Amino acid sequence: MNPMREIRIEKVVLNIGTGEGGDKLANAERVLESIAKQKPARTYAKKLVREWGVKRGSPIGCAVTLRGERTVETLTRLLDAVERRVKRESFDNGGNLAFGIKEQIDIPGISYDPELGIFGMDVCITLMRPGYRIRRRRRFTRSIPPSHRITKEEAINFMTSKFGVQVV
């Protein structure tokens, strides 16, 4: 097989949206830190939503991006939380995958702490091939040609073969 056609995981992003700052957001950050073993970054509201009482620029959630060796180990635990079953609609046409976890206590190795509470989270997985750097580099940025992009079927095949994911 051509090494340039090999699919791999670029990053895994974990996101918890609390909708408000304060203690609830601090607890969500501690939950993410225990799962990812890395400090999360806060996310801020981009616009004013009066009905929800959200002001522009106020902290409303937290996210952590995993890259490198830590991704496979953490992703295996996250997939176990959803019993390695993912909907077909969770895959997009760009070769990415996103799914949700209802409660953090579903993840193996995470126990319930009454002080923290229970949080749900979104997991977004970005797949790539060697050569994808051309869209991020500073000089001579180019788009990925259609022949080199990851299709939905290729992403499904990669996840089933590498992680034993069952696509429903």
Looking at residue 110, its pLDDT comes to 86
Can you spell out the DSSP letters for 36-95?
A: HSSPPEEEE-SS-BGGGTBPTT-EEEEEEEE-THHHHHHHHHHHHHTTTEE-GGGB-TTS
Of all residues in the chain, what percent carry a pLDDT higher than 90?
A: 79
Structural domain containing residue 12: 3-167
Q: Which CATH number fits the domain that encloses residue 122?
A: 3.30.1440.10
Assess whether pLDDT exceeds 90 at residue 87.
Answer: yes
**pLDDT tens digits along 127-157:** 999 999 999 999 999 999 999 999 999 999 9
Going by pLDDT thresholds of 50, 70 and 90, the confidence category of residue 10 is very high
Looking at residue 19, its pLDDT comes to 84
Q: Determine the Cα–Cα distance for residues 112 and 17; give it in Å rounded to an integer.
A: 19
**pLDDT tens digits along 40-65:** 999 999 998 888 888 899 999 999 99
Count other C-beta atoms under 10 Å from residue 21's C-beta: 15
Record the pTM.
Answer: 0.90
Domain count, the chain: 1
Looking at residue 49, its pLDDT comes to 86
Assess whether pLDDT exceeds 90 at residue 126.
Answer: yes
Looking at residue 109, its pLDDT comes to 86
Element spanning 125, H or E: strand 121-128
